[in-house]
Copies of this chain bind each other. A is one copy, B any other.
Amino acid sequence: MATMSRSGYGSDDEDSTPAMRRLRRLSLHLLQPSDRPAPEGANSLVPAACAGRRRAGGLDADAAALTAYLRGRHRATQDRLYRFFVERPELHTPVELPMAAHRELCFRQMAALVREAGVRPLSLMADDPDEYFAVMEAVGGLDISLAVKFGVQYSLWGGSIINLGTKKHREKYFDKIDNLDYPGCFAMTELHHGSNVQALQTTATFDSVTDEFIIDTPNDGAIKWWIGNSALHGKFATVFARLILPLQGKGGEPADMGIHAFIVPIRDLETHAVLPGIEINDCGHKIGLNGVDNGALRFRSVRIPRDNLLNRFGDVARDGKYTSSLPTINKRFAATLGELVGGRVSLAYSSVGILKVAVTIAVRYALLRQQFGPPKQPEISVLDYQSHQHKLMPMLASAYALHFARRYLVDKYSEMKKTNDEDISADVHVLSSGLKSYITSYTAKSISICRESCGGHGYAAVNRFGGLRNDHDIFQTFEGDNTVLLQQVAGDLLKQYQQKFKGGTLSVTWNYLRDSMSTYLSQPNPVTARWEGEDHLRDPKFQLDAFRYRTSRLLHSVAARLQKHMKTLGGFGAWNRCLNHLLTLAESHVEAVILARFIEAVKR
């Protein structure tokens, strides 16, 4: 949130510390100039070039309409939150802040949002996900740490209650999570297992005598690691653990029922003391997001009531009997993880917001900054250089395209939440994996290019690229490592491909593949076949055809390669042998989806 004064350097401001003067000078250099007359004195910096460009094209009216179209129906909500925080400077995150103070500030920011600005995030998440994501983006404008801590509290801890629990859990926890009386954590990742959730080792053993589960960390590798909100503020954690039922396995052995989620109180509600049997260590400094208190949790025979099992997809009765509407461990695991898709949607959403901020700063600066020029003529804006245009303009166009892709993703997600339709769910699962991966990788690369394109001034902390990059970096990893998520997309495409040959139908987003694949062998490559000059190359229909043809071709060829290697290497080996091919396929598909949404949006 830019809070830099716009008053000109050289004016008689009350605030004349060196730091403030520096800020003011830089702000003149970087911010869009206002329409105020220039400050007195011939020595002032004159940022006229950018202002002139802005006015020259008469774009202001269009820009307003475009902004309204882009920002959609929750613009008022976001503006209200921006105003709320602008008026509370004590809640702004300074450039330098020790980790401990940053964490406390971050909690105060969230408390102010809930208790003073009156936002009820969990209710929004349940009733209007679209507005929920808009709120998350707005609080990310104050501090990305806040957006992530907010995401832990509501998307993850709150979301686990809503999506994996049943009525009894909602009644007991919903309101107190919503009003922040119950800060909580989402304890899935372990030191030795991040991506491979199915191999988590923490156990929850049912004790039929006391009607309790006993939570245990069997070894150091099973310590819950990176758990946000746990080092300082969490009162509860949703712990993912293998459900063990003693005596119910073969030959009276314990039966391992697979991964389930359990509510585990970790701190005393009154004294905030860590509860017995629980050890919490601090994960310490991170590259960014140091306002979030990540911790490591170890459990030593921690007993919780049977009711604390989040039992939507599987339950244990008083007598220890297991029941579930789903027949196998794998199906229950898929259903459990499937409900957590909201986290990925929110990351894709926030990442687009961060991309917009970075591109805006870089493009504005490129207009203002002048360097070199033709002999004996004024210097030209660096944006006039071909190399600079090639760096920034595709990024600007992509920011629009990705904006519409996230719009589509959120609409689908909202529809899924409303209808519980299975086809839409499957679609959202893969779409969110693909877009989260593609968008966060793109944004991460772009922030670095933006920094570099702003030269030395891009390296000043106040100009934000460092903070944006450091905070955003982990978006590529959490809620699913990008390389792993792309494989899920590829796997789904292959499943659809096989179903096609078995005569099945394709899911909604993939519909285009049916057409592409049907004609694949008969139809020539659109790039070579239909070349008709510039008009043709600029035709969106042709462009989309080319993108889809590429995907179809990659899908067809990787399926053949997999089949070939399967015989000698087995399924896992064949997959690994073709891994780069598969990742290219997934990216190609995601790009085709993004382009389709972009073309649709431009038409509107």
Contacts and interface: CB of A to CB of B under 8 A. Distances in A.
Given A465-B287, A580-B386, A474 B459 contact: yes
Contacts of A474: 456, 459
B372 A196 contact: yes
Interface stretch (A235-243, A277-285, A356-364): A277-285
A529 interface: no
B386 A193 contact: no
A385 B572 CA distance: 10
Interface stretch (A21-29, A127-135, A411-419): A21-29
A524 interface: no
Contact of A576 (B43, B371, B386): B386
Interface stretch (A94-102, A301-309, A505-513, A543-551): A94-102
Given A448-B448, A482-B452, A196 B284 contact: no
Contact of A194 (B452, B456, B469, B577): B456
Given A191-B29, A466-B470, A579 B385 contact: yes
Interface stretch (A64-72, A253-261, A265-273, A373-381): A373-381
Nearest to A21: B281
Contact count band on A = 35 or more
Chain multiplicity (copies):
2
B451 A284 contact: no
B43 A459 contact: no
A573 interface: yes
A478 interface: yes
B284 A462 contact: yes
A387 B573 CA distance: 13
A62 interface: no
Nearest to A581: B386
Interface in A425-455: 444-445, 448, 451-452, 455
Interface in A281-306: 281-288, 296
B95 A98 contact: no
B461 A287 contact: yes
Interface in A456-491: 456, 458-462, 465-466, 469-470, 473-474, 476-478, 481-483
Contacts of A19: 282, 284
B466 A287 contact: yes
A455 B481 contact: yes
Interface in A362-397: 370-375, 379, 384-388, 390
A578 B386 CA distance: 8
A516 interface: no
B21 A219 contact: no
Nearest to A100: B96
30 contacts: A18-B281, A19-B282, A19-B284, A21-B281, A25-B220, A42-B219, A43-B219, A45-B192, A45-B221, A194-B455, A195-B371, A196-B372, A199-B379, A226-B456, A283-B460, A286-B460, A286-B461, A287-B451, A287-B466, A375-B572, A385-B576, A387-B483, A387-B580, A444-B448, A444-B452, A451-B473, A455-B477, A455-B481, A456-B474, A466-B470
